[in-house]
Amino acid sequence: MRLPLAAAFMAAGLALATTAHGAPRDPAERKMVEVVRAEHGRNVELLKQMVLVNSGSMNFAGVERVGRMMRAELEPLGFQVRWIPMAEAGRAGHIVATHKGNGRGKRMLLVGHLDTVFEPDSPFQGWTVRGDIAEGPGSSDMKGGLVIMVSALRAMQQAGTLKDADITVVLTGDEEKPGSPIALARRDLIAAGQASDVALDFEGLSREGGRDTGSIARRSSNSWTLKVKARSGHSSGVCMQGVGCGAIYELARIIDTFRRELPEPNLTYNVALVSGGAQASINPAETAVSASGKANIIAAEAVALGDIRTLSPEQDARVRAKMEAIVARSLPNAEAKIAFADTGYPAMAPTEGNRRLLARLNEVNRTLDLPEMPTGDPASRGAGDIAFVSFIDGLVGLGMAGQGSHAPGETADLKSLDVQAMRAALLMTRLSKEPRPAR
């Protein structure tokens, strides 16, 4: 009878698992499992120390401090670590760390971020543990993923498999609030992707129905702005011939038509802010709208902004064309214009290469006597940095399981730490032995 995983970890010794073909586990893989288990306490303490450092995206000193903590972990493992300042993009900076292997296996890019959504003025700070659940800002998104990355790499080093692995680590300091221009803010990540063969994202593990799932896609996140102008006048003539219904009715027509005509699989469309009146405007930061006027004046201006999330560039283009066509069907004496801002995150579409990576992870699961991970729903994840390197094969969600990401009370499931580190260590070791594709 198979023991539950947690019980197996608590046993005096971890029985040797076998591969799907019944062969004994490779000694190096057995060593990696043993190292991860032995260092559980060390890794939880590292997570605690990271969570206790506030690293909200705009807390540059805190982001840099977490960067120094990661440098202290990576340099002893043989990584050459650089801090890339991002003052020009209005952010703290990034960590880029490289490990030179034997030059034969697949080149791996490990993706993560140093920042959280919780700035110093957030009331949610600190660290508490209740059983196997740790609570604290960024505990699962994604300081837990940083610790899992370190744990896996330490296990590889002690098992002797890290020395042959060609690995680049890119940890952005502004994933939760990207700098501008985005081309500068993601320049180093894209360059690292161009020099790699596969990308492994250490953001949080996805679960559906209590089951670990594999993520091979992430949706985009881009914003849109809608501005409407219409003939104004006395409200007694609203919607009459020659006058028209005004800007607010036109805005309402557009966004309600979006609601009825846009829906399709893997698409979400959101209206975030709306305003209208005799005058209406959006502030420069696009964080507030305002309007002025009177009840007896037909609205001359209306504005709205929101976002769209799609699974592929093709879907994004199709949805934008639909939105533009809807906007063009103006009511009499009204005119609307929609603009899209490509300053967010692109889509990471599901590809055959990504599916093969998940299959390789499931081979690791069989070795570890863990259940197979089905493909997860991309709509259950937000956008992420790995999408900027979706031109290479990628896998998402090698980090910590948890709940309440981006909200006070965010938690991390400490039971997932060892499991995820084992998965990552074995997967990276196996990828390091696969011939890199010719270029």
Q: Percent of the chain, pLDDT > 70? A: 94
- The answer to whether residue 269 sits within a structural domain is yes
Average pLDDT of the segment spanning 248-260: 98
Quick one: 367 and 302 in the same domain? no
Quick one: 57 and 202 in the same domain? yes
9 has a pLDDT exceeding 50:
no
Work out the pLDDT band at 20, boundaries 50, 70, 90: very low
Q: What do you get for the CA distance between the two ends of the chain, in Å?
A: 48
- The answer to whether residue 263 sits within a structural domain is yes
Quick one: 125 and 183 in the same domain? yes
- The answer to whether residue 438 sits within a structural domain is no
Number of independent structural domains in the chain: 2
Average pLDDT of the segment spanning 279-289: 92
Domain boundary among 320, 345, 370: 345
Quick one: 377 and 315 in the same domain? no
Average pLDDT of the segment spanning 415-434: 97
Work out the pLDDT band at 7, boundaries 50, 70, 90: very low
Quick one: 301 and 391 in the same domain? no
Quick one: 338 and 314 in the same domain? yes
Alpha-carbon distance of 35 to 159, in angstroms, equals 8
Containing domain of residue 318, as a range?
Answer: 221-345
- pLDDT tens for residues 99-158? 999 999 999 999 999 999 999 999 999 999 999 999 999 999 999 999 999 999 999 999
164 has a pLDDT exceeding 90:
yes
Q: Percent of the chain, pLDDT > 90? A: 88
Work out the pLDDT band at 22, boundaries 50, 70, 90: very low
Using DSSP's 3-state secondary structure scheme, residue 62 falls into helix
Domain boundary among 345, 374, 397: 345
Distances (CA, A) of 383 to 309, 311, 344, 388: 8, 10, 9, 10
Token pair for 272: 């975030």
- The answer to whether residue 439 sits within a structural domain is no
Quick one: 368 and 307 in the same domain? no
- CATH, residue 205: 3.40.630.10
Structure confidence at residue 207 (pLDDT): 93
- The answer to whether residue 86 sits within a structural domain is yes
- The answer to whether residue 52 sits within a structural domain is yes
Report the largest interatomic distance among the alpha carbons of the chain, rounded to a whole angstrom.
Answer: 85
- The answer to whether residue 377 sits within a structural domain is yes
- The answer to whether residue 136 sits within a structural domain is yes
Quick one: 272 and 209 in the same domain? no
Structure confidence at residue 5 (pLDDT): 39
Task: Report the chain's mean pLDDT, rounded to a whole number.
Answer: 92
Structure confidence at residue 92 (pLDDT): 98
Quick one: 337 and 362 in the same domain? no
- pLDDT tens for residues 181-218? 999 999 999 999 999 999 999 999 999 998 999 999 99
Quick one: 328 and 374 in the same domain? no
pTM over 0.95: no
The residue among 342, 334, 374, 340 whose CA lies nearest residue 355 is 374
Structure confidence at residue 318 (pLDDT): 96
Quick one: 316 and 383 in the same domain? no
3 has a pLDDT exceeding 70:
no
Quick one: 396 and 283 in the same domain? no
Average pLDDT of the segment spanning 271-295: 94
- pLDDT tens for residues 361-420? 999 999 999 999 999 988 878 789 999 999 999 999 999 999 999 999 999 999 999 999
- pLDDT tens for residues 61-98? 999 999 999 999 999 999 999 999 999 999 999 999 99
- CATH, residue 262: 3.30.70.360
- pLDDT tens for residues 55-71? 999 999 999 999 999 99
Please enumerate in sequence order all residues whose Cβ is within 8 A of that of 106, keeping only pairs 6 or more positions apart, or say none. Answer: 166, 197, 198, 431, 432, 434, 435, 436, 437
Domain boundary among 288, 321, 345: 345
Work out the pLDDT band at 14, boundaries 50, 70, 90: very low
